[in-house]
Every structure is written in structure tokens, then in C-alpha cells.
Chain A
Amino acid sequence: MGDVLVHMSPNSLINKDLLAKLERLEVAFRRAQRGRPEGERSGPHHGGRIEFADYREYSPGDDFRHVDWNVLSRTDDLVVKQFEREEQYLVYLLLDCSASMDFPRSGGRRGNLPTKLEYGAACLAALAYIGLAARHRVEMASFGAGRCEWFPVGADKNRVFSLLDRLSGLRAAGETSTALALKEAFERSRERCLIVLISDLFDEGRSRGILATLAAKGYDTSIIHVVSREEVEPRARGRIILRDAETGDAVPLRITDAAAARYRRALRDFGEGWSAFCGTHDIRFLSTTTDVPFEDFIMRYLRRGGLVR
């Protein structure tokens, strides 16, 4: 195993070896998007040679080589030159940071498994690096507790370290606000783009409307549904009080084997409901548990789900 680049206690999911493997992957865009020039990979619009196309405002993460210093000296405006030949796509990666993502809880029988937040953050970092390696513009948003914080990563793969630093500082708290994050992504994007939502989807279905809207407007949307093993197979039995990690609501229950079986059936129905919804709206839907080896998930499951190739 290579050197660990990000430490998300107790698991270190991203390392140099994995990054080297990720460079061989590319994001599989499904819809014809109006991209920006200067991407390395060929887009649907095959241009000829590299030609100057336009200026645009500098944003953090842009390659300094493309800053037009002449314009800067004349006008004090920091702009970067855009070229036309290959297309550069915009990738929005949305990570759920609500309290429900902090499972399995540390100190219990979690063992060495990462939390859903850690697993999702690692997924986000991997997808971002794949995009950055192809010089696509990547922006991420972490949402939870009624807020959505955006972080424009940039279009240079060296920016992945800044991204990893930011991911390491994320803490799960509050209620989920998936709909808010999707709404902000829709508003920020001036063109159709790739949106990847990483969440456990415990938002009572409030995000389905905006997801359907995004899909209808041609956004290439994907959902990575992260579930922990203890959610799939709850082992608690007896008379206990279940407390919702997000809302704090408590419900006294006597969990028997039959009740646990009904719960598992409800969880299965929940996943199948989302899968059916996504199928209807041409949204990629990938579901995983935190005990699936992370590298397998990235290198095999994401490929199989059509998100990367």
C-alpha cells in the first residue's frame, strides 16, 4: 500500500497507489453537455487545433499558466484564457454531512469500518481526482444542518490535496438538506453538468422533486447511496429506546427477530424505491455499504454502474 494521503480516522482510504489507478479512469458523461474548452479529453464536439476562444474570470484552482498577464497589467482583472479544441466539463460532487452519516458510531462494535461520511468523502475525493486528472472543473458541496458549503476544487489534479484537507475537516451534524444542495447546484450551474450526490438518502423523499427536475433539464445526475452494515443488519434486541441521530426523536421499541426482519424488508423496499425512481428519470443509482472494500467499489462498482470507465 502506498503512502496515505488523507487520514480519516480510523480508516485511510485514499493513498498514492489508488490515485495512480484513478488516473487511468475517466468520468463517463452520458448527456451531450456544453462544455468549456481546454479539457484534455475529447468531448462530443470535435474541434480542430487549439485556438483562443474567450476570456473568463479566474476562479481558484485555475491553472496559472492560462492567466492572461497582459490583461491583468492593463485592467487589473484576473482572467484566464479559454481555448477551443477539447471540452472541459463541470462536475458537482455533493456530500451529505448530516448526523445520520456518522454511522457506524465509533467506540461501539464498529471495528475498522469507516463511517458513511468517511466512505462518502473518499468516494467524492476519488471522483474528483478522476475529473481533475482529465482537467474537468470540479466543485464540491457538503451539506447538512440546513447549510450547504461549496468548495470550488478547480481543474488541476494537484488541487486534490486541498480537497482532501477540506474533506478531513468535515464533521457530520444536523439534519440532512439534500434538496437544498441540489437546488444550489442547479442555481450555480450555468450549463448542464454532472452532479453526483453521495448520501444515505434519509430525507423523507424531499429531494426527489429537484432530482426529477435536474434529470428533466438534461443534467447528468448520479446518486451514490451509502449504507452502513449495522443499518442493513441491526443486531440490537430487547426493550430499547431508538433515538434518531438527526432529529433526536426517541421511540421505545421492543425489537424482536421478527421486528428486525420487518426492518430489513423496509430497508430493502427503501433502496428498491430509490432505484425505481432513478430508473424512471435516467439517474444513475449506485448503492454500497461501508464494509465493501473501498478500492473495489471505485474500480469495479463505479465502472459497473457506468459512472466511470
Chain B
Amino acid sequence: MTFGRPYLLLGLLLLPLLALLYIRRAGKREVAVPSLMLWRAAAADAVAETGARLGAFDVPLLFALLFLAAAILAAGGPVLTVKARSAPHVLVIVDRSASMTAPAKFTRTRRDALELLDRLDSGKVTIIGLPLAAGPALEELTPAQAKLRLRDLSPTHLPLDMGSELSRCAGIARQASAVVVLTDNPQPVPERLAGRPVLVISHGGPVRNVAIDAFEVTPGDDGRVHVFLAVKNYSDKAAAVPVAVRAWRTPAPLTAKTAFAGKSRTLGLPPGGRASLTESLPAGDSVGADLDVDDGLDVDDHAVAVRAGVRRIRVAYVGRGNQFILRSLELLPDVALSQFRLTGDVNAEFDLYVYDGVAPDKLPAADVVLIDPTGRVGPFNVRGATAGEWRRAVKVKDAPALRHVKADALRFKRILRIDGGPAAETLIKLAESDAAVLMRWQDEKTRVLVIGCSLVLSETNWPMQSSFPMFWADVLAEAAGRRSAARGAWSCSVTGEHIVVRRPPDAKLSVIGPDGKPVPLVPGRGARSYFLPTQAGIYRVSGGPLPQRFAVNMLHAAESENAGAQSRPSVALEKSLLARGHGAGVPLWRYLAVLALMLALGYWATAARTSR
């Protein structure tokens, strides 16, 4: 058994003194009685058994002494080493953070881990890469399997908070008999994790490192982009670093970039100091900055930003207010919804116009949805309506916006008779007549969907169908697809932060990262998915109607600092740690604390009874 705080055990020496004081105090306790007459007669054989002599059995004293002993022992942090009955189970925790990408660091780490596994002839191995977001734990491996899996591991560009990540490993560590941590992180690693001994194999040393500290790109009103860049010197020597800032336009595929503007400057950096610059560049779709320096960490010498290709879609709703339509639009991501009562109130440029029960004098040059129009609008002319009887049989044309509409479930009452001309395409119509429920028409500037009935429950049950909000999602997606990608905002995030991907309904999207490998996106319940980038670079979403790109940088100062920091010295690998039969630690202090609590209750009960 070992103790975490053995100096606290000195408190046990106080117990005899406390016992003596207790006995002296107990011997002097007086109780007044009305008369000793009866006591003398009754307890004659118990007279004169006090004084300094300890009674044969003093229950409160016994409880008090045991309580104090248990409390002091618990405070000492005892850990009982239990002899393992089976082969050792070693948990290998490998630091895969960005600082480990420094040359040879991860290679040496992996070599040490392999050497460790070589010495482990039997037993089980669990490998965890930190941060945990980098990948799942590899559990219950034989040493041979573990060596193979270790060779597949590579460092990421993720940041690492060693303390919190290790605490999250405690659950797995509890099942192991020993823990080995391979890291360059200078943060102290606890000597025990979940009671198991921890061996730290540390790599790293004083390496010169200069890193991009901040990188911001904002569009200017003059059509150019403005770049702010900060560079920090993490070494104790001054440095002069050439910095190149470039803007370029990227045709597909992404790898063929055409640089059309670039500037280079040299920044003087004092030891541990920072310098910054601003640049104004012609607007491309990508902006990057590079430090021309040969230092410990390469990934923090580059930064990039791209136009996201996605911005908020501006929607104008003109009408008296239909809650089904408004809620469907509001729930969709990246939608800026504006409501107007009359067509004359619409005073800005929108990507999608929804006219509900009203009709504009002139169709705008955008996507338009006309609901229950009146009179003549563009190529459409309303010529009356069908009888007001419920009809269930409709025909739905196979169109992207209608792929979720179930014809059997739709009910309509009064349908407008609309003449759309030869260019208009009927998407939904009544089966018994040619009355069009939904028509589409488009020219070079305008795309119009006409719904020939009022979207209220007294006229149709469509708003209650699940296809209704999906119809609006598709309408929005088509409207967004018509916009120029050049109007998107600049994207520049960091590794370890989830990026949000707009996902049209049922779209199977994948994300192509800097390594060129597509990673399928897990569909969520909403209209967006999340993706965690582990490498710095440009990511592109494929499979959807919208061009979406994201720039991810390793802008974590702690990792840049760790790359050049002196890590703690390595501890020699103890062979006994991996030997068969090495014990796992059982934290005894919890049991002792519970025991102390029970003894305190016992003391309280017996002492109260005695003092009454």
C-alpha cells in the first residue's frame, strides 16, 4: 500500500494524546443528582472506578479514536496495490496534437511506443490518441496488433489540453494496470491516473519556432480584400522572417490555383515578440499567407482564407401572413426573412420573393413564388376557379422540389384556373381536370412557381404534410444556387472547431479535405451537418447544389509554443511496470472516508447517550 500524502500520517501520533485528554476530561465530568442515597445503595459495586484509569470498555472513546484514525488514514491518500491475476493491461496514450508534427517528434514517439510494446510479451494493450477528437480508442489489442496500429497513427493539427483530456481517459485507465503517456506537452502529467501508475515518455526540446498568430480577411467596399496578419516569435532569439501574402482564384479542381497577386515583406521579430501587417489585395476567392522560415513547426507558418460560397439567403414574404409558410422559412438555416403587407412596400433586393394572395405589378429578376395570385402576373393569367369541393386525386410531376410530395395524401378544394402559356410547366394538377395546382415558368432572370390555391387549411391539407417545409427548403436551395459564389463571405476557422455545412434535404454530402480524401457527412435531423477538421487546409463540400468551401488553420498559440518548448525529461522505462503480475492500484481513501463517517455517527450516538 502506498500513500499519496504520507506526511499526513504523522497525525496518528496525536491519537494517544487525544485519548489521554479524553480520559482526563471524562474522569472529571460531574453530574448533579438530587440525592446520592439511592445511587449508593444501587451502584455500590461500581463506585470508584474512575480516575485516570481507562475503563474496561469506553464506547465513545473507542469510536472517537477509530474515527480519527480512519480520517487521518483517508487524508493520507492510501492506494492499495493488488496483485494482478492476469497479464498486464497497458494503456498507451499517444499525443497526436499539432506540436507533435514537428520533425521527428512523432517518429521518435512512435519508436519509443513500439519499443515499449516489444518488451510486453503478453497481455493487452489499449491505444488512445490525444486529443480524443482525433479518433477512437483502440482497445483490447495484443502487443503485435498494437504495433501494427501504432504505425498507422499520425499527428493531427488539433490542439491539446492535456489535463482535461487525461481526465477523460480515466475511465479506460481504470481497466488497465499501467498507463504510458507519450507526449511533448510540458504540462505536468499526474503520477497516477484512476489509481494506476503513469509513466511519461517525453519528447521535445528547445526548438526555434515562428508562427502566424492571427489571420483575418475582410472584404472592402472597393472590391478588394483586406488582410491582417500577426506573427509571433516563440524562441529566445530575434528573427527576421519573410512573409508572403497572396490572393488567387481557384478553378476546380482546387489544386490548380492561379495566383494573380502577391506581396512579400520581411518582419523583424524580437525574442518572444510579435509583429503584424495589413495588406489590401485584389479580390480572388482565396487568400493565403506564408512564412518563409525553417523552424520547428511547419503548419503554423501558413494560413489561408476562402470565400465560403454561402451567405444568408434574403427572402421577402409579401402577404397577410401564413404561419405555415413563415415557420417553414424561419426554421431553415441562413435565411434572412423580411415580411411585407403590400407589394409596394418591398424596397430591397431579395433572392426569393413569396407573394401570398397578392401579385406584383412586375415580376422581379429573382426566384418568385406566387400563391393564389389574382389577375395577370407576368405570363400567368387567372381565369376563374374550380368548384369549391374537396378533391384528392392529383398528379405530381417528378421534379426536384416535389420529390417528397405524396400525391395520395394531398387534398385540395378550390383551384384557380391559370393560363400560363406554352412556356409554363405544370408540376401538380388535378387528376380529373387540367386545373394546375403548381406551375413553373422561367426566363433568363426570373424563375416563377405559381401555386393555384391558398395555402390555408380550409383550402388544402398540404401545410399539414411533412413535404410542405421540405418543399420550401428545396425552393430556397434552388434560389441559393442561382446566386453568384462571389457574393459569399470569407471563411477562416481553426482546427478542433466544428464547421457547419448546409445540407439540402436528403443530399448525400462528403467533405474533401487537404489530403483529397472524401469524408461522408453524417446526416443530421436538421438542415445542417457538422464536421470536425483535424488538418489545416482548405475543405470543399461535394454532392450538394451549393458550392461550399472552408479554410481551416492551425492558429493555436499553445501548440506553436509547445513545438519549441522544453518538455519535461523522460522517465526511464521501468521493466517492472510491464512485468506480469504488476498490480493495479485501488484507492482506499474512499472506503476509509465512508468508514470515518460511520464512526463519527457512532461516536455522536454513544456520546449523546452518555451525556444525557
Contacts and interface: CB of A to CB of B under 8 A. Distances in A.
A253 B34 contact: no
A266 interface: yes
A236 B43 contact: no
Interface string A43-73: 0000000000000000000000000000000
Nearest to A249: B36
Interface in B515-563: none
A243 B30 contact: yes
B604 interface: no
Contacts of B34: 99-101, 103, 116, 200, 202, 228, 231, 244-246
Contact of A238 (B35, B51, B60): B60
B273 to A, nearest CB: 74
Interface string B19-50: 00000001111111111111111110111111
**Residues of B contacting A: mostly:** mixed
Contacts of B47: 251-253
Interface stretch (A163-171, A187-195, A256-264): A256-264
B58 A238 contact: yes
**Interface band, chain B:** 20 to 34
A4 interface: no
Contacts, number: 115
Given A239-B27, A243-B32, A252 B42 contact: no
Interface string B43-77: 10111111100010010100000000000000000
Contact of B49 (A234, A253, A264): A253
A208 to B, nearest CB: 14
Given A255-B43, A263-B43, A241 B38 contact: no
B445 interface: no
A309 interface: no
Contacts of A231: 33-34
A279 B38 CA distance: 22
Contacts of B575: none
Contacts of A243: 30-33
Interface residues of A, number: 42
A292 interface: no
B612 interface: yes
Nearest to B26: A239
Contacts of B35: 100, 200, 202, 244-246
Given A252-B48, A253-B47, A238 B32 contact: no
A255 B38 contact: no
A262 B612 contact: no
A264 B42 CA distance: 8
A253 B55 CA distance: 11
Contacts of B610: 236-238
Interface in B78-135: none
Given A252-B50, A253-B49, A237 B609 contact: yes
Q: Which of A204, A254, A270 has the most CB of B within 10 A?
A: A254
A270 B26 contact: no
A251 B46 CA distance: 10
A267 interface: yes
Contacts of B30: 240-243, 250
Contact of B38 (A109, A250, A253, A263): A263
B576 interface: no
B43 A245 contact: no
Given A249-B36, A253-B43, A241 B51 contact: no
Contact of B42 (A235, A240, A247, A263): A263
Question: Sorted from nearest, which 10 A-B pairs have the closest CB atoms?
Answer: A100-B34, A235-B612, A263-B42, A202-B35, A252-B50, A262-B42, A254-B49, A266-B42, A259-B43, A239-B50
Interface of B: 26-43, 45-51, 55, 58, 60, 609-612
